[in-house]
Amino acid sequence: MKKISVSDFIALSEHHLVFDVRSPEEYNHAHYPGAVSLPLFSNEERKIVGTAYKKQSKEMAIKLGLDFFGTKMRSMVEEVEKLCDRIQPNNKKILVHCWRGGMRSAAVAWLLNLYGYDVYLLEGGYKAFRNWVLVQFEYPYEIKVLGGYTGSAKTETLHELERLGENIIDLEGIANHKGSAFGGIGQMPQPTQEMFENILALKISEKNAQHNTNYFWVEDESQRIGDLIIPNAFWNSVRKSPLYFIDIPFENRLNFILQSYGNLEIDALKEATIRIQKRFGPNETKITLALFEDNNIKEAFHNLLNYYDKNYITSLHKRENVEHLLQKIELLEISPKTNAEMVLSSIKN
């Protein structure tokens, strides 16, 4: 068994299985991205052992833990063996962690090492990884921000920038949400806030290592994406970064919105409209809901797009030092590939 640092753990995790031996409750709240849950204790067993540790003694907690552990040894070994044979055959190297790198991970590592695995333990456990995550948001990254009104196909253009060799971080992709009140329709459930931060920090680290750079693109976002919040330090860095605003005519953006959202269930569209009624206004909300009810989808989205355009302009004017950060790029149509090329060309010029 070998104890390794967070940075070494991250490097090895790209090619070897990671096993999280914390309870299912801890794992489901948030975990190391890609880790497999291999709980030493169930949620109830963890509470029993923890209570014994606090109210009786460390020795009593260990004895109770051994009672629970003993009955699971074979099944844990077989589960690891099955996964390793399927995912990394002929490779005995595995990574294990618990909360603080204490007895739980040590016990499982001992068992798997006894069975013949080359086990690496995360020093400081998941807590050390979380500390690493929070530090990542403090670094002074060189960020370029792709902006534009709603319906400008910013996400698609961002990915075209990646195909052209640029380093990107897709915040909406990580958040499983497209950003507006309508952005969660048809998406997978959002991760927890902690899990979002874990994925984001690891993605930034991985992408920068791959490109050997501290520079990347992000899409212009509100700090809140659905139910998730972009960490303050990272958000502040984004807001102080150059903003490349792709300015596309209203009608083209409206048609793009219709292609993206026009076939969604009317009830879901109405619910999303109701969620913004305080800012949208009671009269506009009533009119737009009636348009959805009459299946006049284009006119309903026309109203909504006007609302989002006004909101974006207001937000833009509130941004500190915006006159020096903003570069508008006039474009004629929704064409992510062409528009990505135009964005890069405008930077070079």
**Enzyme catalytic residues:** 98
The residue whose two tokens read 């948001």 is 137
- Distance between CA 197 and CA 199 in Å, rounded? 6
Strand, coil or helix: 51: helix
Is-contact 44 20, C-beta < 8 A? no
Angle at 257 between CA 252 and CA 260, to 5 degrees: 130
Positive or negative: CA dihedral 288, 291, 295, 300: negative
Q: Where are the alpha helices (DSSP H) in the chain?
A: 6-13, 24-29, 43-55, 58-70, 73-87, 103-115, 125-136, 154-163, 171-175, 193-211, 232-239, 250-261, 266-275, 277-280, 282-293, 297-318, 322-325, 336-348
CA dist., res. 151 & res. 314, Å (int): 17
